Structure 1
Amino acid sequence: MAHDVSVIGLYILDVLGRPVSKIPERGNVDFIEEIRLTVAGTAGGTVVDTAKLGLKSLAVGAVGNDEKADWVLATLAKHGIDVSAMQRLDGVPTSATILNIRPNGERPALHVRGASDHFDLLPAFYDQVFAAPIVHLGGTGLLKKLDGEPSRRLLEEAKKRGCTTTFDLIAATAETKAIVEPMLPFIDYFMPSIEEAQDMSGQSGPADCAAYYLDRGAACCIFTLGGDGAFYAHKDGIRLQVPAYEIDIVDTTGCGDAFDAGFICALHHKMDPEEGLRFAQAAAGLVATGLGSDAGIVSFDDTRATMDRWSVKPGT
Structure 2
Amino acid sequence: MSAVAVVGPHLVDILGRPVSEIPAGQGSVVLDEIRVTVAGTGGGAAVDLAKLGATVTSFAAIGDDLLGRLLVTQLQEHGVDTAGLVTKHGQKTASTILPIRPNGERPALHVPGAMASLQAGDVHVATLLAADAVLFGGPETTPRLLDSEGIDLFGAVRAAGIPIFVDLLYPGRPETLELLAPLLPLVDWFMPNDQQLRGLTGVDDVVEAARLLLGRGVGAVAVTVGEHGALLVRPDGDPVSVPALPTTVVDTTGCGDSFNAGMITGLLLGCTAEDAALIGCACGALVASGLGSDAGIQDLGGVLTLISESDPEAGRRIGGHVAAHTATALDA
TM-score tier (shorter): over 0.9
The aligned counterpart of 1:186 is: 186
The aligned counterpart of 1:302 is: 302
The aligned counterpart of 1:262 is: 262
The aligned counterpart of 1:196 is: 196
Q: Deviations over 1:93-151 (max 9, x none)?
A: 11110000000111011111111021113176111222102000001222243345554
Instruction: Return the alpha-carbon distance in structure 1 between the equivalents of residues 276 and 224 of structure 2.
Output: 13
Which is richer in helix? Answer: 2
Aligned residue for 1:141, secondary structure, equals: helix
Instruction: Return the alpha-carbon distance in structure 2 between the equivalents of residues 153 and 62 of structure 1.
Output: 20
Instruction: Return the alpha-carbon distance in structure 1 between the equivalents of residues 51 and 123 of structure 2.
Output: 28
Give the TM-score normalised by structure 1: 0.94
CA 1:269/1:174 → structure 2, altered by over 3 Å: closer, same or farther? same
- Contact 2:59–2:123, Cα closer than 8 Å, also in 1: no
Aligned residue for 2:19, secondary structure, equals: coil
Size of the aligned set, in residue pairs, is: 310
CA 1:124/1:58 → structure 2, altered by over 3 Å: closer, same or farther? closer
Q: Deviations over 1:239-266 (max 9, x none)?
A: 3101222211000000000000001101
The aligned counterpart of 1:44 is: 43
Aligned residue for 1:292, secondary structure, equals: coil
The code of the aligned residue for 1:275 comes to D
The aligned counterpart of 1:211 is: 211
Instruction: Return the alpha-carbon distance in structure 1 between the equivalents of residues 276 and 60 of structure 2.
Output: 27
Instruction: Return the alpha-carbon distance in structure 2 between the equivalents of residues 139 and 71 of structure 1.
Output: 21
Aligned residue for 1:86, secondary structure, equals: strand
Instruction: Return the alpha-carbon distance in structure 1 between the equivalents of residues 151 and 196 of structure 2.
Output: 19
The code of the aligned residue for 1:152 comes to I
Q: Deviations over 1:19-56 (max 9, x none)?
A: 00011110111111000000000100000000000001
Aligned residue for 2:260, secondary structure, equals: helix
Instruction: Return the alpha-carbon distance in structure 1 between the equivalents of residues 32 and 201 of structure 2.
Output: 40
- Contact 2:61–2:86, Cα closer than 8 Å, also in 1: yes
The aligned counterpart of 1:4 is: 3
- Contact 1:116–1:144, Cα closer than 8 Å, also in 2: no
Aligned residue for 1:83, secondary structure, equals: strand
Instruction: Return the alpha-carbon distance in structure 2 between the equivalents of residues 123 and 79 of structure 1.
Output: 23
Instruction: Return the alpha-carbon distance in structure 2 between the equivalents of residues 190 and 31 of structure 1.
Output: 40
CA 1:135/1:95 → structure 2, altered by over 3 Å: closer, same or farther? same
Aligned residue for 2:285, secondary structure, equals: helix
Give the TM-score normalised by structure 2: 0.90
The aligned counterpart of 1:221 is: 221
Instruction: Return the alpha-carbon distance in structure 1 between the equivalents of residues 176 and 215 of structure 2.
Output: 18
1:1-316 equivalent positions in 2, closer than 5 A: 4-122=3-121, 125-147=124-146, 149=148, 151-171=150-170, 172-310=172-310
- Contact 1:6–1:130, Cα closer than 8 Å, also in 2: no
The code of the aligned residue for 1:159 comes to R
Instruction: Return the alpha-carbon distance in structure 2 between the equivalents of residues 230 and 51 of structure 1.
Output: 22
- Contact 2:146–2:183, Cα closer than 8 Å, also in 1: no
Aligned residue for 1:43, secondary structure, equals: helix
- Contact 1:3–1:58, Cα closer than 8 Å, also in 2: no
Instruction: Return the alpha-carbon distance in structure 1 between the equivalents of residues 101 and 148 of structure 2.
Output: 38
Q: How big is the alpha-carbon RMSD for the aligned residues of Structure 1 and Structure 2? A: 1.6
Instruction: Return the alpha-carbon distance in structure 2 between the equivalents of residues 26 and 106 of structure 1.
Output: 24
Q: Report how far residue 83 of structure 1 moved.
A: 0.8
Moved more, 175-184 or 34-43: 175-184
CA 1:205/1:258 → structure 2, altered by over 3 Å: closer, same or farther? same
Aligned residue for 2:182, secondary structure, equals: helix
Instruction: Return the alpha-carbon distance in structure 1 between the equivalents of residues 7 and 93 of structure 2.
Output: 16
Q: Report how far residue 238 of structure 1 moved.
A: 5.0
Unaligned runs of 5+ in 2: 312-332
- Contact 2:86–2:122, Cα closer than 8 Å, also in 1: no
Moved more, 160-169 or 251-260: 160-169
The code of the aligned residue for 2:195 comes to E
- Contact 1:20–1:101, Cα closer than 8 Å, also in 2: yes
Unaligned runs of 5+ in 1: 312-316
- Contact 1:155–1:187, Cα closer than 8 Å, also in 2: no
Instruction: Return the alpha-carbon distance in structure 2 between the equivalents of residues 276 and 102 of structure 1.
Output: 30
The code of the aligned residue for 1:285 comes to A
Aligned residue for 2:109, secondary structure, equals: strand
